[in-house]
Chain A
Amino acid sequence: MAGATTAGRAHAPSASSRHFLKLSATPGQVALALGIAVFLVLFLVIPVGTVIYVAFTEKGTGEFTLVNFLDFARTDLFIRSFWNSVYVSAMSVVLASVFALPLAYITTRFEFRGAMLIQTLGFLPLIMPPFVGAVAMLLLFGRNGTVNLLLDEWFGIKIPFMEGLNGVIFVQAVHYFPFILINLSAALRNIDRAMEEAAQNLGSSGFRLFRRIVFPLAMPGYIAGASLVFVKVFDDLATPLLLNVKDMLAPQAYLRVTSIGIADPMGYVISVVLICMSILAMWISARAMRGKDYATVQRGGGGLAKRRMRPWESVLAYATVLLILLLVLAPHIGLLLLSFATIWSFSPLPDAYTLAHYGRVFGESFVYVKNTLVYASIAGLIDVVLGTAIAYLVLRTKLIGREWLDWAATAALAIPGVVLGIGYLRTFYGVQLPDGTPLAALWIMIVLALAIRRLPYALRACYAALQQISVSLEEAAENLGATKVRTVRRVVLPLMAGGILAGFVTSFATAAVELSATLMLVQSNADAPLAYGLYVFMQSPAGRGPGAALGVIAVLLVALCTFASHLIIEKSQKAKAAGH
């Protein structure tokens, strides 16, 4: 997210304060680095390497070949899937921009009541898996959904919001637009007010001012958000599957592996294509950002001047914001209705309301909730431990090759969940426990996959937290007799607590609703997490009620955890500020 782009600017510890350190590290640090390296190799490098290896080798003989890629290029279905994926991702970016631009602009540029509320509500879509919203969107915007029924009744028309690829685009845009909103808002806020005033002073105003000054300065932030949306949409497999769109790339990878088997090379070829597209999008984003560190706020700056709106502007702005918010919150509203609905079909609103779905979910499906809490907590824990350790090794030691840990952990960003899932299956299915169970069938594999997927975000949070701590604070502790280990425990970790917690919550919240890797790895319902249960429920019309109830529980769960951690972080920051 935004942190990933800015944290790269490392404050190298000043040479004068570090030069007396030995070049080699302590045995403890070496052991720590090796441990992390082994973990990353086992659960990231080898599985992904296996996927790439299989894609490039002949089935059976193991010889190098490009035949698999030729097969891919010769198969109409795959080529169509590829272009469909590109089209859907690109259009999702466009539509998400349509949602995000006005919200970002209005809340950062004008004195707008409820700006905070909008920025908070803007996050809401992120805490619900997009495929969950997809069902609610079908009921609201589908051919016989609320909106079209009303349109048909009033005007005699129907709009194909949810037909085929349209549906995927609509659902994905609604779900992922916060990435653009967050990055763009941050970029807009970081523009020095004087930048705009200088243009006004020289005779520029209105839309020309926006086009020539404000927009170019906010562009890097926009690109960062847009490329993230592109990658996320390209890699998502559950949403298309749930909307019954099969000719897209990520669903194809899943379908090949699950229907034809893990020996079939096409799943692996598609995986390699997915990885390449991820890397391409990130490269474009990095290129757009390079040399354009436009964070120009200087002392006395403080972002663009906020203007009071004229009455007609206010009306227009509130109408726009309300419409967009209604749209992006539609999945939540629909889900809530659905979870209380007896029957909801061919009618604008449910026929009657009931609590039965919740009863059923709490009765028989509570195992999903329990599993999710366990998995997401362990994954989050692994992430912050690894993240803190890597951040410490990179920023505070001279260990040779320490950057490799950072790069390897961050590389997970480019690995789509479905690819990691396939890699785990292929790598760990052959490895068996003494009783004969394949390693890949253990629930801990799901946890590890989640941890690897979320590690880059947690790492950036920990990295940023450690960067903000002056080295002299640690040197003071060492000067007063504390060993390295005790310094870390008594000075570094307490000061990093806020950042570590933020990292944990990001990992936890996103792992709790993650499906793409999990979908491959879940072997039995008893081991399944919430997202999987939701997916199973949502596939049958009869399961939609309980599925929606489960979805509401998931949203509340994640929202609650996020809110609680937000409070804790704010409190600790206040305490720190008071201490200064």
Chain B
Amino acid sequence: MNQPLSIPDLGANAVDVDIRNVDLSYGANHVLKGINLHIRPGEFFAFLGPSGCGKTTLLRLIAGFNQADGGEVLVGGRDVSQLPPWKRDVGMVFQSYALWPHMTVKRNVAFGLEERKVPRAEIDRRVAAALELVGLAHLADRRPSQLSGGQQQRVAVARTIAIEPKVLLLDEPLSNLDAKMRVQVRRELRDLQQRLGLTTIFVTHDQEEANTICDRIAVMNDGIVQQVGTPMELYEKPANLFVANFLGTANILPGRVVREGGERFFDIDGGVRLPIPANVVVPEGAKLVFRPQHASLGRDGAGDVLLPGTVVHSEFLGSTLRYGVRIGAAEVSIDTPFHSGESLRQPGSPVEIGLSLRSALWLAA
């Protein structure tokens, strides 16, 4: 115990994870449909999507708990598809933590090393180092049931990194914590991952979690990867309506494209017509999408187009005012900064929405 505790230097050997054409069905239920993903060495990567999208199934497939019908998973260039879970060296932190109640914290953390027949002295050293890393060295002899939710979560992390896995898998690790703990723990996780430099995959349905701690995100829906990118790319340049909707609030105006005299226009359902800028590509069946803060009440910038509408409801949110405005057949949300002394416009009052077409998008489903 007197020798300095070393943090395992996993970053130097960080490996990539390559998922190729992975397909999985449960009976008639096609859960994963031809998934292709490349996770870079040392990257903090998220699988983000609503429940039932296949994200947890994909994670469990990497860990070996699900068997793919087709395709392969490569960890550090080695195909692990045919290996059982206990030979994969991918550490997983379970949503429920899965700490064994009949063992102390120390025994829990030592488990994986014992299974690997590591010498006793080294087990003690590595267990101490792992617990030190998560700041729980003083609770080594407690039972899991004597720990708080946040502490249990950290034990689960320590237990997993003690075996120095090639890849760290986190299955909704924050979902069993209260809101305040969640913010703290996600920073700790990010910090830990940065220090270890360990390739990490994080499954969540919470876009804020994914945005705040991940380098890149794969947005999933219906067993398909919808888009891969950094949080900002996904927010600013969503590839389709699902991604736009899932990350942040999006206003969606249905309509159709019409051509008149060599120019293109977008007829919003309900009668309003907008010009489509010349360089914009509009996919088949697209809808007009914009964020609440990209529109204003009245003209805000020179390039804005004006859409007539009616206030349906209004909310005071502190720094901003949020209006629900009916445009044609659709209803959109508009956020405007709150200026001191300003009063809310009442439902029923007619307004004009100023929309910057440069920040608006035409997206198909």
Contacts and interface: CB of A to CB of B under 8 A. Distances in A.
Interface of A: 192, 194-195, 197-205, 208, 212-213, 216-217, 219, 291-292, 294, 296, 298, 300-301, 305
Interface string B63-93: 1110000000000000000001111101110
Contacts of B160: 201-202
Contacts of A204: 86, 111-112, 115
Given A201-B88, A202-B86, A217-B100, 19 more contacts: A194-B97, A194-B98, A195-B98, A197-B98, A198-B98, A198-B100, A199-B100, A199-B115, A200-B84, A204-B86, A205-B84, A205-B86, A212-B111, A217-B101, A217-B102, A291-B145, A292-B102, A296-B96, A300-B96
Contacts of A291: 145
Contact of A192 (B65, B96, B163): B96
Nearest to A200: B85
B293 interface: no
B111 A195 contact: no
B96 A194 contact: yes
Interface in B74-132: 84-88, 90-92, 94-102, 111-112, 115-116
A213 B91 CA distance: 18
Given A194-B95, A300-B95, A202 B115 contact: yes
B169 to A, nearest CB: 8
Contact of B100 (A208, A213, A300): A213
Contacts of B111: 199, 202, 204, 212
B159 interface: yes
Contacts of A208: 115
A192 B98 CA distance: 8
Contacts of A296: 96, 101
A195 to B, nearest CB: 5
Contacts of B94: 194, 197-198
Contacts, number: 79
Contacts of B98: 192, 194-195, 197-198
A301 B176 CA distance: 14
Interface of B: 63-65, 84-88, 90-92, 94-102, 111-112, 115-116, 145, 159-160, 163
Contacts of B116: 203
Contact of B102 (A201, A216, A305): A216
B66 to A, nearest CB: 10
A202 B88 CA distance: 9
A291 B101 CA distance: 10
Contacts of A212: 111
Nearest to B89: A203
Contacts of B85: 197, 200-201, 205
A219 B64 CA distance: 28
A425 to B, nearest CB: 47
A188 B47 CA distance: 32
Contacts of B84: 200, 205
Contacts of A201: 63, 85-86, 88, 90-92, 160
B61 to A, nearest CB: 13
Counting from the closest, the 6 A-B pairs by CB-CB distance are A202-B112, A194-B98, A198-B98, A203-B115, A200-B85, A298-B96
A301 B145 CA distance: 18
Nearest to A197: B65
Given A197-B85, A216-B102, A294-B101, A202 B163 contact: yes
Contacts of B102: 216-217, 219, 292, 294
B25 to A, nearest CB: 16
Contacts of A198: 92, 94, 98-100, 159
Contacts of B96: 192, 194, 296, 298, 300-301
Contacts of B99: 198
Contacts of A200: 64-65, 84-86
A203 B165 CA distance: 11
Contacts of B64: 200
A213 B159 CA distance: 15
A292 B90 CA distance: 30
A224 to B, nearest CB: 16
Contacts of B145: 291
A292 B144 CA distance: 12
Q: Output the residue of A197, A208, A219, A292 with the most chain B CB within 10 A.
A: A197
B100 A203 contact: no
Contacts of A213: 100
Contacts of A195: 98, 100
Nearest to A194: B98
Nearest to A196: B98
A165 B116 CA distance: 47
A213 B101 CA distance: 10
A565 B145 CA distance: 39
A203 B112 CA distance: 6
Contacts of B97: 194
A350 to B, nearest CB: 50
